[in-house]
Amino acid sequence: MSSDTESSRLARATRNEYLEYWFALPAILILLALVIIPMVWSLYVSFTNLNLTIASRTTEFIGLANYADLLTSGRFWDAIINTAYYVGIGVTVQFVLGFAVALIMANYTDGWLNSLLFTVLLLPMMMAPVVAGLMWRLLFDESFGPINHLLGAMGLPEPSWLSSAQLSLDAILIADIWQWTPFMILILYTGRLAINEDLYEAARMDGASKWFTFRHVTVPQMKGVIAVALLIRAMDAFKFFDKMYLMTQGGPGTSSELGTYYNYLLGFSDFAMGRATAMSWLLLLFAVVLANIFLWVLERGEGGEQVV
């Protein structure tokens, strides 16, 4: 009897057309509380003059003033230009180096040599960025760093890497290229291995040179993988923070200050929350626009095939 009522209750419950939403509700609530409400709130804050250090002041709605101030500020644009330089040069170098090494590993080395290369190449990636940052700060140190020691021993000039406005950003770039090129190698190597070897044999039979095969078989076949690798690295580089914070703190002056760091200073040093949230939204906008331009350019390539 009781089992009968239970099963009929279950039957009624499963007939409930909103049942699936009840199951999703906990996840939706968590998302709302941790992501969506804070985002909407931050958007609101970006239109106010909220500053946590001025307790007495009543927070006022000031419209687009935060955005206007940022977009007309030299420091903001310097930070954006530094970020663009850092993302553009860094990801390009990582990609070119990574692609070259991946192709060499796929075509010219194999067996134990590849295993060894993998182990060695993956080490930088396994290191915590903070540790890598500290390590490179020591390596670049002007008085007792091994890099300048070696340069000096070879009779070359010993630049002041981290305290020169010309070199500080490049020093950070070198550290980041060192750490993340292996990621490119790994992704592009697996992407290359996923291509059917028959295509390469067919290309050889078709009389294609190595360069022709690279352009007309390898690159188009790897378009999807290349897009994903570039996108992941570009997004990651865009929000880069750790090594710069450890190596230069944006210095000397603001010469190596990136968008993320300036944003951090606005929020957690100046506590100018209105200004900081406005900058966060601008950075997000840049990232979204860049990513879409990037995908659009890739999709226009040979054959116009969907890549992602």
Partner 1 sequence: MSRIELDEVTKVFDDDVLAVDDVSLTIEDDELVVFVGPSGSGKSTTLRMIAGLEKPTDGDIRIAGERMTHVEPQNRDIAMVFQSFALYPHRSVRGNLSFPLEARDMDDDEIERRVAEAAEILGITELLDRKPSQLSGGQQQRVALGRAIVRDPQAFLMDEPLANLDAKLRTQMRAEVVSLQQELGVTMIHVTHNQEEAMTMGDRVVVMDQGEVQQIAPPKEMYQRPANRFVAEFIGSPSMNIIEGSIEDETFSAYDSGVTLGLPSGLSGVTGEVALGIRPENVELVDEPGDYTFEAKVELIELLGNVQIVHFDVGGQEFLAELHPDVEVEQGEHRHVRVAPGKGHLFDGLSSRSERIVPEGEA
* In the chain, alpha helices (H): 2-15, 19-31, 37-45, 65-71, 74-107, 112-126, 129-139, 146-153, 168-193, 197-205, 210-213, 219-221, 223-238, 242-247, 259-268, 273-299
- Give 120 or 194: the residue with its C-beta nearer to partner 1: 194
Minimum Å gap between C-beta 117 and partner 1 is: 21
* Stretch 245-284: interaction string toward partner 1, x if CB under 8 A: ----------------------------------------
Minimum Å gap between C-beta 143 and partner 1 is: 54
Q: Does 209 bind partner 1 (CB under 8 A)?
A: yes
Q: Does 305 bind partner 1 (CB under 8 A)?
A: yes
Does residue 152 contact residue 162 with C-beta atoms inside 8 Å? no
Q: Does 110 bind partner 1 (CB under 8 A)?
A: no
Q: Does 208 bind partner 1 (CB under 8 A)?
A: yes
Counting beta carbons within 10 angstroms of the beta carbon of residue 187, is it exposed (0 to 12), middle (13 to 18) or buried (19 or more)? buried
- Give 216 or 239: the residue with its C-beta nearer to partner 1: 216
Q: Does 212 bind partner 1 (CB under 8 A)?
A: yes
- Give 160 or 213: the residue with its C-beta nearer to partner 1: 213
Q: Phi, psi (5° rounding) for residue 105?
A: -65, -35
Sign of the C-alpha dihedral computed for residues 6, 12, 15 and 19 taken in this order: negative
188: closest CA among 283, 235, 121, 250? 121
- Give 60 or 305: the residue with its C-beta nearer to partner 1: 305
Does residue 247 contact residue 162 with C-beta atoms inside 8 Å? yes
Q: Does 198 bind partner 1 (CB under 8 A)?
A: yes
Q: Does 45 bind partner 1 (CB under 8 A)?
A: no
63: closest CA among 51, 46, 80? 46
Q: Does 300 bind partner 1 (CB under 8 A)?
A: no
Minimum Å gap between C-beta 190 and partner 1 is: 18
Positions that interact with partner 1 (CB under 8 A): 196, 198-199, 201-209, 212, 216-217, 220-221, 223, 302-303, 305
